[in-house]
C-alpha cells in the first residue's frame, strides 16, 4: 500500500511538471460587433461576417467576433458611434450622417453627383479622413470608411423620369445633405434610417425612397415599391452615403500587440476599397431581383441628369459655407474630395 501511494504521488508530480511545461492557451478575445441591419443584408453577410472570419483565421483563433445585427444590443442606429466610443460594443458599423451636424466634414462625399464607383470612392474617403478629417473621429479607432454604390429612386405609385415627377413627392433620405438635395429637386424630404423605410412605405408615410440597389431586397423594397429609376451609369451617381466601421479605442489598445497588428492588417485604405467593391458587386444581383419581381426600371439619361445637377448645385454651396463658418476651408476640402475620387477612379 505505501508503494502504491508513492507511485500515485510520483504520477501526480509528473503530471504537474508536464502541465507547467506546456504553453498556456489564453481564452480568445471576443469582439462584440453591433450594427443595424438584418443578417441577410450585404453588410452582415458579405462584409462584416467575412471580415470577422478573416481576423479569426489570421490570429489563429485568438480573435473572434460576436455579431449583433438589427440593434440587438439596444439603442438606435444614430447611437452606434457613441456605443463604440463608450464601449457598449467593441466594434460598430454605422453612418456618421445619422448624427446630423456632428460629422460635417466627411459629409462632402454625400453631396449630389460625387460618387464614381463605391470601390474608388471608399478608398478616397479613407484617404481624405487621414489627410483632412481625423479630429471628427478621434473618439473611436476607425477600421474602415466606405460608401455604397450610386443611389436610385424607388417609388410606390409612379416612376421618376424627370424633375417634374419629383416635385411634391414625400421621399425618404438617409442624411442631412440628401435631404437638402431632395428639397433642391422639389421633393419633400423625410429623413429616416433605413430600418424604418419598410413601415413608412407600407403605411404611405412616404411615396418612395432613395436607396442603393443592394439594400432593397434586405428591406423587401422590391415588394413594397413598383418603380425604380436609376441614373445613367456613365454619369456620376446621384448620391451616396458614408459609413464607418469603428472600434472602441480602449478595447483596441488593450489587445496584445500581435492582435493589434491583425486588426491593423485588416484596416485602412485597402480594406475600405474592398468593402466598397463588395457593395459594387451586390448592386447587380439586387437589381435583378427587382426585375424578376416585375418591377419597372427606367434609366434617367445624362441630359436629364445635367438638369438635376444644376438644380442641386446649391447643396455644395451650402455645405461649403457651413464648414467654412466652423473654421474649415470648405472650397479646398471639396476640391480635395473630388480630386481623390477622380484619382482612385482612373
Cα separation, 299 vs 217, in Å, equals 20
CB 215 within 8 Å of CB 194:
yes
> Stretch 268-284: mean pLDDT, rounded?
98
> Stretch 55-64: mean pLDDT, rounded?
98
What are the structural domain ranges in the chain? 29-148+242-281, 151-239+286-344
Name the band, by pLDDT with cuts 50, 70 and 90, for residue 100.
confident
Cα separation, 311 vs 183, in Å, equals 10
* Cα–Cα separations (whole angstroms), residue 334 to 322, 324, 330: 12, 11, 6
Architecture, CATH, for domain 151-239+286-344: 3-Layer(aba) Sandwich (3.40)
* The two domains 29-148+242-281 and 151-239+286-344 share their CATH topology (first three levels equal): yes
Cα separation, 243 vs 278, in Å, equals 14
Kindly tell me if the per-residue pLDDT of 163 is higher than 60. Answer: yes
CATH number of 29-148+242-281: 3.40.190.170
Contacts of 283 (CB under 8 A, 6+ apart): 149, 212, 213, 214
The reported pLDDT for the residue numbered 9 is: 53
Kindly tell me if the per-residue pLDDT of 17 is higher than 50. Answer: no
> Rounded to 5 degrees, what are φ and ψ at 327?
100, 0
Q: How are beta strands 188-191 and 170-173 bridged, if at all?
A: parallel
Q: What value does the mean pLDDT of the chain take? A: 93
Cα separation, 274 vs 194, in Å, equals 23
> Stretch 83-94: mean pLDDT, rounded?
98
Give percent of the chain with pLDDT exceeding 90.
Answer: 91
Kindly tell me if the per-residue pLDDT of 6 is higher than 60. Answer: no
Q: What is the pLDDT of residues 223-259, one digit of tens each?
A: 999 999 999 999 999 999 999 999 999 999 999 999 9
Q: What is the pLDDT of residues 296-330, one digit of tens each?
A: 999 999 999 999 999 999 999 999 999 999 999 99
Kindly tell me if the per-residue pLDDT of 19 is higher than 50. Answer: no
Name the band, by pLDDT with cuts 50, 70 and 90, for residue 143.
very high
Kindly tell me if the per-residue pLDDT of 25 is higher than 80. Answer: no
| CA angle (342 as vertex; 337, 345 as ends), nearest 5 | 125
Prediction pTM value: 0.91
Kindly tell me if the per-residue pLDDT of 16 is higher than 80. Answer: no
Any idea which residue has 407600407 for its cell?
A: 202
Q: How are beta strands 170-173 and 208-212 bridged, if at all?
A: parallel
Per-residue cell: 29:
478575445
Amino acid at each position: 500500500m505505501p508503494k502504491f501511494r508513492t507511485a500515485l504521488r510520483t504520477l501526480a508530480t509528473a503530471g504537474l511538471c508536464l502541465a507547467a511545461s506546456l504553453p498556456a492557451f489564453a481564452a480568445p478575445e471576443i469582439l462584440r460587433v453591433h450594427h443595424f441591419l438584418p443578417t441577410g443584408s450585404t453588410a452582415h453577410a458579405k462584409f462584416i461576417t467575412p471580415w470577422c472570419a478573416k481576423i479569426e483565421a489570421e490570429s489563429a483563433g485568438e480573435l473572434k467576433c460576436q455579431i449583433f445585427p438589427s440593434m440587438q444590443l439596444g439603442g438606435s442606429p444614430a447611437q452606434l458611434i457613441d456605443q463604440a466610443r463608450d464601449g457598449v460594443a467593441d466594434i460598430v458599423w454605422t453612418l456618421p450622417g445619422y448624427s446630423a451636424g456632428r460629422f460635417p466634414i466627411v459629409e462632402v462625399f454625400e453631396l449630389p453627383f460625387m460618387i464614381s464607383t463605391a470601390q474608388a470612392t471608399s478608398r478616397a474617403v479613407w484617404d481624405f479622413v487621414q489627410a483632412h478629417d481625423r479630429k471628427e473621429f478621434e473618439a473611436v479607432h476607425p477600421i474602415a470608411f466606405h460608401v455604397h454604390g450610386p443611389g436610385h429612386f424607388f417609388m410606390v405609385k409612379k416612376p421618376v423620369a424627370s424633375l417634374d415627377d419629383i416635385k411634391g413627392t414625400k421621399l425618404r433620405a438617409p442624411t442631412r445633405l440628401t435631404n437638402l438635395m431632395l428639397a433642391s429637386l422639389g421633393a419633400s424630404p423625410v429623413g429616416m434610417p433605413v430600418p424604418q423605410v419598410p413601415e413608412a412605405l407600407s403605411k404611405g408615410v412616404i411615396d418612395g425612397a432613395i436607396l442603393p440597389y443592394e439594400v432593397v431586397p434586405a428591406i423587401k423594397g422590391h415588394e413594397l415599391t413598383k418603380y425604380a429609376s436609376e441614373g445613367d451609369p456613365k454619369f456620376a451617381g446621384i448620391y451616396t452615403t458614408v459609413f464607418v466601421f469603428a472600434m472602441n479605442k480602449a478595447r483596441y489598445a488593450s489587445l496584445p500587440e500581435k492582435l493589434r497588428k491583425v486588426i491593423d492588417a485588416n484596416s485602412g485604405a485597402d480594406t475600405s476599397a474592398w468593402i466598397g467593391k463588395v457593395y459594387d458587386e451586390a448592386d447587380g444581383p439586387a437589381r435583378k431581383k427587382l426585375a424578376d419581381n416585375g418591377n419597372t426600371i427606367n434609366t434617367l439619361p445624362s441630359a436629364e441628369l445635367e438638369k438635376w445637377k444644376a438644380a442641386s448645385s446649391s447643396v455644395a454651396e451650402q455645405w461649403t459655407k457651413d464648414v467654412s463658418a466652423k473654421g474649415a476651408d470648405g472650397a479646398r476640402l471639396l476640391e480635395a474630395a473630388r480630386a481623390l475620387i477622380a484619382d482612385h477612379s482612373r
